[in-house]
Amino acid sequence: MDHKIIAHGNNHYEVELGHGNLHVYANPEIFQSFESRVYEMADNNLRIPRNVYMGYTPDAHVGVGTCIGTTAVWNMKDGIVSPSIVGVDIGCGMRVHTTSLHRSDIQDKAVRRALITAIEKYVPTNERTNSHYADIDIMNVVQYGLKGLPASYVPNERWLTHVEESDFQYDHAFLEHLPPKIRKNAQGQLGSLGSGNHFIEIQYLELNEEHQELAAKWGLFDGQVVVMIHSGSRAWGAMVGREYNKVLKESMRLWGVSNPDPNLIYAPIVSQEGQTYLNLMYSSLNFAVSNRHMIAFGVQEAFREVFGSGMETPVLYDLMHNYALKEFHRGQPMLVHRKGATRALPPKHFLNTPAYKETGHPALIPGSMGTSSYIMVGREEGLKNFYSICHGAGRTRSRRATKEMVTVDQFEQSLKVGSEDEVMVNHRSLETILDECPQAYKDVDQIIDSVVGASLADVVAKCKPMAVIKGI
C-alpha cells in the first residue's frame, strides 16, 4: 500500500491514507519499522464517520480492530465511541510508589528475594487464587472507585489525590445491563495482578540532570527505590469489553454499518448502545484504579514485613492507557480514545489533578522486562497529539513467535542472571514467562527518543529494574 508521507520534522509524520490522515510520532528508525498492516488498520479506523483526529505513538503495533498506540478523537455531540479503540483490558494502566530506600539498601540478593516472597504473600500472582480483600464490596468499588473502598485500606489522603481520577462518575442504573455472572467472576480479584504483561517491578531511579528541580518537587532522588505496578480491570473490564463488542457488533449489523475489519466495533455516542457502553466502561475504570490501589496496599504491607512497620510507600501517581474519556479541546467537549497511549499533560494545564497543577503530572512509561522504564512530564507541544505519548516499548513480535525465536539462555543474559546486578524474578523457571522477554518488544530507548524528539514529553527519571513479580 503506497501512501503520501508529509514529514513535519521533529519526529512527526503525516501519512495520507485512503480515508483520512494519520499522524505518526516516531524517529526515522522506528518510523521505517512500521509494517503495512498498521496503516491498513488506521485506514479502517478512519472510515468511521466524523473522526476529528487520529495519531500513533512510536510503540504502535497491530492489535484487535485497532493498533495499540492509537489516539482517536471525536466530538461529543455527534461522534463515535468504539470498544475496539479502548481495548478489552479497560482501564489498564500504571502506578508508581516511592520509598525512602536507596538502591544500596536492597542490593543484597537476599533482601530482594525476601521482598519478592513478601509481595507474593500479599498480592496473588496466580489467576486461580483469590485476593485477600473479601470484605470489600466490589459493587461499591465499581460505582465509586477509590471512594468506595473502606477507610482501613486508604493509608492517607495522598492515596486518593495523586491519581488521574479517583472516581469516574456515571449513571449507575446502567449496571443493570450487565449479566449477573460478572460480579461472581470479578469477586475476589480486587488487588490481584493478572497475567500477560502485567507486573510489579522494584526499580531504582537515575534522574535526568535537566529536570533535577522538578524531580525534587515530586519527592524523587538519585538511586531511590520505587515500585512500578502495571495492571487493569481484571474480569470486570474483560467481561464488559467482550459483552459490548457483541452487543455493538449486532447493532452495527442491524443498522447496516460495515467495515472491512469485522473486529472494529463502534456506535454513535448519543445512541442507547453507545451510552450503555460508555457508562459501563467507566465502571471498569473504577475497578481498574481500585485494583492497582489494592495491589499497592499489599506491596506496602510486604515492604513493612521486610523493613519494619514504620515503612511508608507514598503514591507518586496512577494513570491509565486504555480508555475513552471526555476532555475539552479546541473549546469543545471531545471523546478522546487512548488504546495503549498515555496522557501526558504539561504544567499548569487545567486537566491536571490539583496535586500536579503547577508542575504537570508524572507520565509513567514501562519498558520491557529487564530494560529501563521512564517517568516523564508532558510538554505544551503535546497538544498536537492531544497530549498522548507512548505507553511502553510496544511488542515487535507475537508471544508464539517469541517462544520460537528466543532461548531461555538469551532471556537469562538479558536479566544478567548470576551477576550482582541480576534482575531477580519470582518465577523459578524463566521458560514460563519467555514471551515477556525484552526480545519480544521494541527498543524502549528508541521509543522514548521518539517522544522526546517530537516534543511531546521530557524524561524526568529513568527507572532501572532490580526485581520483577509476574503473574501466571
Domain assignment of residue 184, yes or no: yes
DSSP state of 441: B
12: cell is: 512527526
DSSP state of 395: B
Report the distance separating Cα 413 and Cα 435, nearest Å: 15
Domain assignment of residue 416, yes or no: no
Instruction: Please give the span between the terminal C-alpha atoms of the chain, in angstroms, as a whole number.
Output: 40
Whole domain around residue 129: which residue ranges? 4-396+441-470
Report the distance separating Cα 468 and Cα 200, nearest Å: 6
Catalytic residue among 321, 337, 361, 391: 391
Active site (annotated) includes residue 391 = yes
Bridge partners of 24, per DSSP, are 13, 56
43: cell is: 485506514
Domain assignment of residue 374, yes or no: yes
Report the distance separating Cα 23 and Cα 37, nearest Å: 16
Is residue 203 classed as helix, strand or coil in its secondary structure? strand
User: Which whole-number Å values give the CA distances from 305 to 239, 369, 439, in the listed order?
Assistant: 35, 26, 35
User: Which whole-number Å values give the CA distances from 142 to 117, 158, 224, 233, 349, in the listed order?
Assistant: 30, 21, 34, 10, 28
Which amino acid, 427?
H
How many domains does the chain contain in total? 1
> Residues 153, 328: contact at Cβ < 8 Å?
no
Bridge partners of 80, per DSSP, are 268
Q: What is the maximal distance between C-alpha atoms in the chain?
A: 63
218: cell is: 515530586
- What's the predicted TM-score (pTM) here? 0.95
User: Which whole-number Å values give the CA distances from 432 to 120, 417, 438, in the listed order?
Assistant: 17, 16, 14
Using one digit for the tens of pLDDT, what is the confidence trace for 344-382? 999 999 999 999 999 999 999 999 888 999 999 999 999
DSSP per-residue letters across 26-72: --HHHHHH--HHHHHHHHHHHTSTT--EEEEEEEEE--SSS-EEEEE
CATH number for 203: 3.90.1860.10
Report the distance separating Cα 460 and Cα 471, nearest Å: 29
Residues in Cβ contact with 238 at an 8 Å cutoff, skipping those fewer than 6 apart: 88, 89, 90
DSSP per-residue letters across 293-306: HHHHHHHHHHHHHH
Report the distance separating Cα 418 and Cα 102, nearest Å: 22
DSSP per-residue letters across 330-358: TTEEEEEEEES-EE-PPTT-TTS-GGGTT
Domain assignment of residue 427, yes or no: no
User: Which whole-number Å values give the CA distances from 185 to 128, 181, 324, 335, in the listed order?
Assistant: 11, 6, 24, 30
Domain assignment of residue 322, yes or no: yes
Report the distance separating Cα 39 and Cα 5, nearest Å: 12
> Residues 226, 97: contact at Cβ < 8 Å?
yes
Domain assignment of residue 418, yes or no: no
295: cell is: 495491589
Domain assignment of residue 415, yes or no: no
DSSP state of 106: G
Q: Identify the segments of the chain with pLDDT beneath 50.
A: none
Is residue 366 classed as helix, strand or coil in its secondary structure? coil
354: cell is: 490539583
Domain assignment of residue 402, yes or no: no
